[in-house]
Amino acid sequence: MDSDAILTAVNAVESITNSPHTPERSSYRARKTVEQIIHLIFLLCGIVAVAFVLLISIYLILSGLPAIRQIGLVQFLLGKVWDPTNTTTGAQYGILPFILTSVYGTAGAIVIGVPVGLLTAVFLAKVAPPKLAAVIRTAVQLLAGIPSVVYGLVGMIVLVPAIRNLFRLSSGACLLAAMLVLAIMILPSIINVSETALRAVPKEYEEASLALGAAEMETYFRVSVHAARSGIAAAVVLGVGRAIGEAMAIILVAGNVSNMPGLFTPVRFLTTGIISGMAYASVGSLYQQALYSIGLVLFLFIMLINVFLNVCVKNRKEG
Amino acid sequence: MNGQTLSLRRRVYNRGMRALVWLSAGLTCALLVFLIGYIFCRGIPGLTWELLSGQTSYIKNTIGILPNILNTLYIILVAMVIVLPLGVGAAIYLTEYAENRRLVSLIEFAAETLTGIPSIIFGLVGMLFFVQKMNLQAGVLAGGLTLVVMILPTILRTTQESLKTVPQSYREGALGLGAGKWRMVRTVVLPNAIDGIVTGCILAVGRIVGESAALLYTAGFGLVLNDFFTALHSSSATLTVALYVYANERGETAVAFSIATILMLLTLLINLSAVFLGRKLKKN
């Protein structure tokens, strides 16, 4: 490795000495200016990420607030009726159905997805023979890479009719279908993050537990999972973030009607509400501005989740 | 080993949990196999040359996805050309130049925040800023710029990781022999981190190919065949958006599944090459 280092360094110096610059004072100064300019360019590249976050926050707040102010915060957040195009009794902009649907849908996805994901993570980290684990890990990675519309398409064609037939409904496009699709979509991130956390559990913990007479599975679930709990919590929070922000996979399976959520009623999420509304709202109308406000509410949810995630990660580092 | 000495309850717990663990892992794999199998079964019969090389026309009553394939390539091109220098530059700044630790953690926090923002938000802000504020028409340019914001953290993170793996002695060697910092970065650090940067690019392309929510109202729904420069400023649906349009608005399930097949093939290709490269990276 050291000989490599010397070789690359020598190459670097050769390219210096071969360059037409003569080592005079003025060229030294020029070189220094060039270095400073390059430093500045890289600094700007770094700042861009911060600028993007600011841009997003500022734009969402600026364009989300006017509609909220016009409709009224309480009316907007707690109103149960979303009917922006009703001309006879007046338009109504209540997004409680969207908020509750997003919350219930996410909760459902977590309830279904986390047990399966956690068990798979334990399998990958502790139980599986290494070769099998490698195969499954690739499978998980592929699941993560499948575009969300593809999940939506398969859900629409396979899951929705199945739910309709199973529960004898008039239409299978409902909250339950969306929960199932979301559960599948958050699986990869839950598996990956939990597996990493489980792998980080010191071997001594498990050895001690085994030596005290605990069986393998008792050790994994009562010692390893317990020791990795903050990492697993981070996985769950990450899953919540994924599920609440997902749009294209569920727009095809959720029925897309702004009802108050019920397991078998067609519903709209915060995300799908924005997408389907945007197709009808004319530019500059209160309708469109209300959609920006929904975006702002979603953004606040996500930021809250990010804060939770940071707390989880910090706890893990300290604990 | 000590199975005989355990009480019945503990034996049942042990067996039950072991079965559940295998079952869950099996379920995860079965899910993937089912998805791939089902999509290929429904999609491959419809993958004809007419579909791949034609365009959708009401008059001739034909459906073709060539425009969408091209739009996807255009958007990849636009987004990558912009995001690659930005992301690599930011990573170089963080690992090689930055001295102010507060600024470093601010930038890293920003990148982390961007990672957590869902794509629909990027789409919304992209529409507000690029389409309405900067008055770009919805098209490949506005869509590409929106994606730049979205995939910047991916490139930044992977580049940063691979820059960190370049041994410190390489840098010291170059500096000690009189190279300037920029020359050191260009001739010693970057060439040694190229594998990681390539992996990052592959992952980023994967995200672009699969992205739809961010593109709906920034790149648009257009199904017309355009050349690159027209597409920059006219509504152009990528493969994913076209899938959505055909599945949701046109009821053309067969076409949607054919597009899904192409997307699945691309996903498989992209992910497997990223895995392969990643392994090669670890070996080195």
Report the CATH number that the domain containing residue A264 is assigned in CATH: 1.10.3720.10
Q: Which residues of A touch B14 (CB under 8 A)?
A: 215-218
pTM of the model: 0.88
Over the stretch A244-286, which tens digit does the pLDDT of each residue have? 999 999 998 988 888 888 888 889 999 999 998 888 888 878 8
- Whether B117 maps to a domain, the answer reads yes
pLDDT number for residue B126: 92
Residues A24 and A97 in one domain: no
Same domain, A190 and A295: yes
Assess whether B128 and B98 both reside in one domain: yes
Q: Which chain B residues in 61-120 lie under 8 Å from chain A, judged by CB atoms? A: 85-90, 92-94, 96-98, 103, 106-107, 110-114, 116-120
Q: Does residue B3 form part of some domain?
A: no
Quickly state the pLDDT bin for A8 (edges 50, 70, 90): low
CA of B170 vs chain A CAs: smallest distance (Å): 5
Same structural domain for residues B241 and B262?
A: yes
Burial classification of residue A37, based on how many CB atoms lie within 10 Å of its CB (0-12 exposed, 13-18 middle, 19 or more buried)? exposed
Residue A317 above 70 pLDDT?
no
Pairs across A and B, CB distance < 8 A: 290
Q: How far is A298 from chain B (nearest CA, A)?
A: 8
Domain co-membership, A106 together with A231: yes
Same domain membership, residue A121 and residue A52: no
Is the pLDDT score of A23 beyond 70? no
- Looking at residues A110-119, what average pLDDT do you find? 95
Q: Which of A124, A146, A256 to mutate to test the interface with B (most CBs of B within 10 A)?
A: A146
Whether residues B40 and B55 fall in one domain: no
Q: Is B16 exposed, middle or buried (0-12, 13-18, 19+ CB in 10 A)?
A: exposed
Same domain, yes or no: B138 and B16: no
Chain B residues in contact with A158 by the CB 8 A cut-off are 38
As a whole number of angstroms, the distance between CA B142 and CA B70 comes to 16
Q: For residue A111, which of A185, A183, A189, A193 has the smallest C-alpha distance?
A: A183
| B110/A50 Cβ within 8 A | yes
pLDDT in tens, B111-167: 988 998 999 999 999 999 998 888 888 889 999 999 999 999 999 999 998 999 898
A77 in any annotated domain: no
**Which of B38, B103, B152 comes nearest A158 by C-beta?**
B38
Which CATH number does the domain housing residue B125 bear?
1.10.3720.10
Task: State the residue range of the domain holding B14.
Answer: 8-46
The residue assigned the tokens 């400073």 is A36
Residue A136 to residue B270, Cβ atoms within 8 A: no
* Domain contains A126: yes
| Packing angle, helices A286-318 and B119-126, rounded to 10 | 140
Sign (positive/negative) of CA torsion A284, A290, A295, A296? positive
A169 shares its domain with A232: yes
B131 in the same domain as B31: no
Please answer whether residues A244 and A102 qualify as being in contact, where contact means their C-beta atoms are separated by less than 8 angstroms: yes
Decide if pLDDT at B254 tops 80: yes
Residues B196 and B104 occupy one common structural domain: yes
Decide which of A71, A103, A120 is a domain's last residue: A71
Do A100 and A243 lie in a common domain?
Answer: yes
Of residues A34 and B282, more confidence is placed in: A34
> For residue A202, what is the DSSP state?
-
* Nearest beta carbon to residue B106 from set A8, A38, A50: A50
Q: Are residues A10 and A159 in the same domain?
A: no
Residue-level pLDDT at A295: 93
Query: Are B101 and B29 found together in one domain?
Result: no
Structural domain contains residue B195: yes
Neighboring chain A residues of B132 at a CB cutoff of 8 Å: 283
| A48 and A126 inside one domain | no
CA distance, residue B3 to nearest chain A CA (Å): 8
Query: Quick check: A15 and B187 CB within 8 A?
Result: yes
The predicted pLDDT at position B26 comes to: 94
Instruction: Please check whether residue B126 lies inside any domain of the structure.
Output: yes
Q: Is residue B196 part of a domain?
A: yes
Q: Which residue, A71, A104, A129, sits at the end of a domain?
A: A71
Closest CA to A158 of B212, B25, B41, B65: B41
Residue B90 is nearest to which of A45, A124, A152, comparing CB atoms?
Answer: A45
Nearest C-alpha in A relative to B221 = A279
- Contact predicate B237/B97, CB 8 Å: no
B112 contacts in A (CB within 8 Å)? 306
CA distance A121 to A197: 9
How confident is the model at residue A14, as a pLDDT?
58
In a domain, A268, yes or no: yes
- Whether the pLDDT of residue A19 is over 60: the answer is no
Q: Please give the tally of structural domains in chain B.
A: 2
Q: Select from B38, B114, B247 the Cβ nearest to the Cβ of A53.
A: B114
| B1: in domain | no
Query: How distant is the Cα of A245 from the closest Cα of chain B, in angstroms?
Result: 5
Tell whether B62 and B42 lie within a shared domain: no
Same domain for B42 and B55, yes or no, is no
Structural domain boundaries enclosing A44: 2-71
Say if residue B162 is in the same domain as residue B30.
no
pLDDT score at A1:
45
Please report which helix (H) or strand (E) contains residue B219, including its range. none
Amino acid at A250: I
A-chain CB neighbours of B3 within 8 Å are 215
If asked whether residues B77 and B131 sit together in one domain, one would say: yes
- Using CA coordinates, name the residue in chain A closest to B3: A215
CB-based contact, B224 to chain A, within 8 Å: no
Same domain, B34 and B141: no
pLDDT digit string, tens, across residues B166-176: 989 999 999 89
Higher pLDDT, B81 or B58: B81
Query: What ipTM does the predicted assembly reach?
Result: 0.90
Regarding whether A220 and A100 lie in a shared domain, the answer is: yes
Which class for A1: exposed (0-12), middle (13-18), buried (19 or more C-beta within 10 A)?
Answer: exposed
pLDDT of A302 above 50: yes
Report the domain count for chain A. Answer: 2
Is the separation of the CB atoms in B87 and B152 below 8 Å? yes
Q: Contacts of residue B192 in chain A, CB cutoff 8 Å?
A: 8
User: Does residue A301 sit in the same domain as residue A163?
Assistant: yes
Q: How many degrees, rounded to 5, is the angle at CA B24 between CA B22 and CA B29?
A: 95
Question: What integer pLDDT is reported at residue A250 of this predicted model?
Answer: 92
